[in-house]
Amino acid sequence: MVNRKIILGLLAAVLIIAAGCAPTQGETLVFADAGWDSIQFHNDVAAFIIENGYGYETSVMSGSTPMTFTSLREGSIDIYMETWQETFMDTYNEAIDSGDIIELSVNFDDSRGGYYVPTFVIEGDPERGIEPMAPDLRRVDQLHEYWELFEDPEDSGRGRIVGSPPGWEVDVIMAGKVEGYGLDEYYNYFSPGSDVALATALSSAHEAGEPIVGYYWEPTWLMGMYDFTFLEEDEYDEEQWSQDYTTENPSMPVTVTVNSELPDTAPDVVAFLENYQTSTELTNLALSYMQENGVDTEETALWFLKEYEDLWTQWVPTDVAEQVKEALAE
């Protein structure tokens, strides 16, 4: 009887240990969805790997950047796949320093934003019968020479620069550049009413073969789908930029961050996310695929995982990769 009790006790202990080594059944990991398409795409890529390779359930919590980042700090969100720290640097550093969140990896570090023109404005487009309109245009501080090319349809004596939607922090910066470079003598700064209106203005002009100069950023589906040229500025200088914004905007890495408790609840997922790294070019390609094919971010994630197997299999152990590949084949 004693031996039987000992054996049963040992079996129970083995089961407990085994359970502790396996993914937590019923554990749901929550992703932040701050509303833009690239974070939704990366959420779906990571979620497919986590669900099929590690056995966790996943969900998303949607909201503004401030709201979702606060939820990450408080623990109601576990994972933030695109933390654009430059938009709230003080808060980001405070969250790191206080131990509320952990920065695991850099998703991509080649993001940028500024003023763009369709490439055909500079190079032309022989296939569309478009001649170069401003072959020497390279920089923002040259725009005063071309205001007639970018004429304001509502004010024929001035040019129009399409800026950021009102209320965005970058709106102050982009309007400040117009003033700092003295372009306000030649141009009206126009703020479209929303991100959709901004994208529509740029894409419509490109499709029509019409000149336009406007603010945008990468990675985005628009930059992946249409050929735009980024107008150069002097290399970022903190002192000069803080005075009148007349240098490049500061470039900050876009990071993968998690709530500080995740290493305890899902250490295997943390190990995976520490290896997660893409690029602006790859993200642009994925978003362009989504737009051109009329599919959602979930379908785009499946396409990405099939097309870029050599990349994502470097992020996970071999056994996890095999499980994910089996799920993709279903």
Q: What is the pLDDT of residues 178-227, one digit of tens each?
A: 999 999 999 999 999 888 899 999 999 999 999 999 999 888 888 888 99
In the chain, what are the domains? 29-111+252-329 (3.40.190.10), 112-244 (3.40.190.100)
| Confidence (pLDDT) at 87 | 66
257 versus 291: which is more confidently predicted? 257
* DSSP, res 205: H
Q: Which of 137-141, 231-235, 286-290 has the lowest mean pLDDT?
A: 286-290
Taking the C-alpha atoms of residue 45 and residue 43, their distance in angstroms, rounded to an integer, is: 6
Q: What average pLDDT score do residues 20-48 get?
A: 82
Q: Per-residue pLDDT for 13 more than 80?
A: no
Residue 244 confidence (pLDDT): 96
The span from the CA of 72 to the CA of 255, in Å, is 14
Sequence-distant (≥ 6) Cβ neighbours of residue 187 within 8 angstroms: 143, 147, 150, 152, 158, 159, 160, 161, 178
* pLDDT tens, position by position, 106-140: 999 888 889 999 999 999 999 999 999 999 999 99
What the block records as the tokens of 135 is 């072959």
Instruction: Identify whether the C-beta of residue 42 lies closer than 8 Å to the C-beta of residue 111.
Output: no
- Rounded to the nearest integer, the mean pLDDT of the chain is 90
Q: Are 195 and 223 in contact (CB under 8 A)?
A: no
Are 304 and 45 within 8 A, CB to CB? yes
Which range (41-55, 77-91, 224-238, 250-264) has the least confidence?
Answer: 77-91
In the β-sheet with 28-33, what is the strand arrangement from edge to edge? 57-62, 28-33, 79-84, 254-259, 101-108
